[in-house]
Amino acid sequence: MAEIVRIMEGDVLALKKPHPCGANEWEVLGLGVEVKLRCSGCEHIVRVPRARLERRITRFVRRAGE
């Protein structure tokens, strides 16, 4: 069974593939079935299905509670 990834609003994530602007860090803006993310490089906002996002996370750059 797959491990559940705890994602909170305000977390900054590093993903496997970089955004076309060159940045690969994303801030979590909203949660639900889809997760709303903002690119740290160009401020572009996207929505990604939670299941797809959980597979693409390489690490947490910063947690929301820190």
Distance from C-alpha of 10 to C-alpha of 58, rounded to nearest angstrom: 17
Please report, as a single letter, which amino acid is at residue 63: R
- 40 neighbors 25 (Cβ within 8 angstroms): yes
- 9 neighbors 22 (Cβ within 8 angstroms): no
The two tokens of residue 10 are 């305000």
Per the DSSP assignment, residues forming a β-bridge with 30 are 36
Distance from C-alpha of 51 to C-alpha of 4, rounded to nearest angstrom: 10
pLDDT for position 2: 65
Please list the pLDDT of the chain residue by residue as tens digits (66 residues).
Answer: 567 788 999 999 999 999 999 999 999 999 999 999 999 999 999 999 999 999 999 999 999 877
